[in-house]
Amino acid sequence: MIPETLVETAAPAVPLTVEGASVLHQMMRFRWSAWRELPADKRSAILQEAAASEILGRMANHADGRQSAIYSLLGHKGDLLFVHFRRDFAELNAAQQAFSRLRLSDYLEPATSYLSVVELGLYESSSDTYNGLIEKGIKPHSEEWKREVEAVLDRHRKAMAPRLWPEIPPAKYICFYPMDRRRGESKNWYQETMSDRQRMMKEHGLIGRRYAGEVRQIITGSIGFDDWEWGVDLFAEDPLVFKRLIYEMRFDEVSAVYALFGAFYVGLRVPVTSLPDILKP
């Protein structure tokens, strides 16, 4: 049995994170049969309303963390993907409600959705912070500990603001997928030491950096918000980059041993003004 004094002074196993934009992915199927039955003038009016709306028109061009984007999905998993970045969940809810009030939504059926927040992990900073506080004799989880940790997080939030509140990249293609870390009987990510997890994540990140000029990656955290633990958005001009990057990452320890992946969604960016082109009956 571990002595109580050691438990009280042990560094926490949970790495620090900083969070930013709230993100909602809406995967939709289009009701083509009902759409085709509409007269051409009604279809045009519905699309004009969508293009002029705050949710898909004006808000799509904002650079303050409030953006929406439309993608035409490939494959059977859906027809359209709507991605919304907002400042908080209340704004996401307002965006969802505004979207549902559009007449266009009468011809869309939800296939699935994903709720998350932009998240940046601070493995290296976590170890340094925890060890430094323990060396000062500050008891983990005490009020003083919490104040010191919050001060560290606040500095990271300010320094990382552009990454926490990103614009949706204008790239032609998107690849979105959710993922977990394995929690099985033989392999459990959450029972590995902080130092081992830090080492593996550093090695994992080095692969992504090699693709920095070809793909933009936005990681979102969804523990407690959705069925998986993280969501990954990749943006690129060439979809083959998605295959190459993800395939190479499968060979590192984090992915090969501990990663579980959900469904993958790949789509092409569609300006709201191009909706009439892709929704031709």
Residue 154 to residue 168: CA distance in whole angstroms: 24
Query: Is residue 123 flagged as an active site residue?
Result: no
Residues facing residue 120 across a β-bridge: 18
Sign of CA dihedral 52, 58, 60, 66: negative
| Residues 99 and 105 sit within 8 Å (Cβ to Cβ) | yes
> What is the radius of gyration, based on Cα positions, of the chain?
22
Per DSSP, the three-state class of 22 is: strand
Catalytic, out of 114, 123, 173, 177: 177
CA 228 to chain centre: 11
Q: Where are the alpha helices (DSSP H) in the chain?
A: 4-9, 32-37, 40-52, 89-101, 123-135, 143-159, 161-164, 194-210, 240-249, 253, 275-278
Among candidates 154, 174, 158, 207, which has minimal Cα distance to 16? 154
Residue 150 to residue 16: CA distance in whole angstroms: 10
| E strand spans, 133-281 | 173-181, 215-221, 230-236, 259-261, 265-269
Q: Give backbone dihedrals phi and psi of 108, rounded to 5 degrees, phi first.
A: -120, 135
Greatest Cα pair distance, the chain, in angstroms, is: 76
Structure tokens at 165: 């509140």
Residue type (1 letter), 232: V
The residues carrying an active-site annotation are: 177
